[in-house]
Amino acid sequence: MKRNEVMAIIATSLMLFALCLSASAKDRNKKVINYSTRIDDDNNRKPTVTVCPERPTPPTLGPAFCPEEGTRYGYSLSNQSFSILYNKVKKASFDDNKFDLIEVASLGCYYSCSQAVRLMKIFTFDDERLKALSMMAPHIVDPQNATDIYKLFSFDSDKEKAGEIMRKCK
């Protein structure tokens, strides 16, 4: 791999990581605070820090999904953010570069099933699609819509593998 390609991947990865981790905020003193912290400020008293629930309540899921679903966020990438990611992955020259971009984006981003399907359609072969799914599955916020993912595969064996990946996710 050429040096320029490596630098482009690193720069793109950092940009996507920064985009996906935009949940951090600054308080009134321009000091960075945790995304789960909220400052209540009344004009007559000092600011107090209260801790909010870390994550929204996940959707009710059927029995086919693992009970660790509570570890998920309730929000997927916005359409604009997803379009940026999708175009970067689609324009990457080699499949390894595409997988690297998906892996880095999955460090801080969450996907809907329809977004995961769009990214998986970039790949030609089912093995590649399953590999991409295994990277994104722990970050899918609506596993109740997994049928969209299963429809992407032609063979029952691949559908079963996709189902197993979705069940094993945490």
List the chain pLDDT tens, one digit each, 170 residues: 677 777 777 777 766 666 555 544 455 565 555 555 555 555 555 544 444 444 444 444 443 333 444 444 457 888 999 999 999 999 999 999 999 999 999 888 899 999 999 999 999 999 999 999 999 999 999 989 999 999 999 999 999 999 999 998 75
Give the bridge partners for 33, in sequence order: 25
- Position 57, amino acid: T
Classify residue 163 by burial, with Cβ atoms within 10 Å: 0-12, 13-18, 19+. middle
Burial (Cβ within 10 Å: 0-12, 13-18, ≥19) of residue 104: buried
Could you tell me if 120 and 129 are in contact, meaning their C-beta atoms sit under 8 angstroms apart? yes
pTM value > 0.85:
no
- Distance CA(89)–CA(101), nearest Å, equals 6
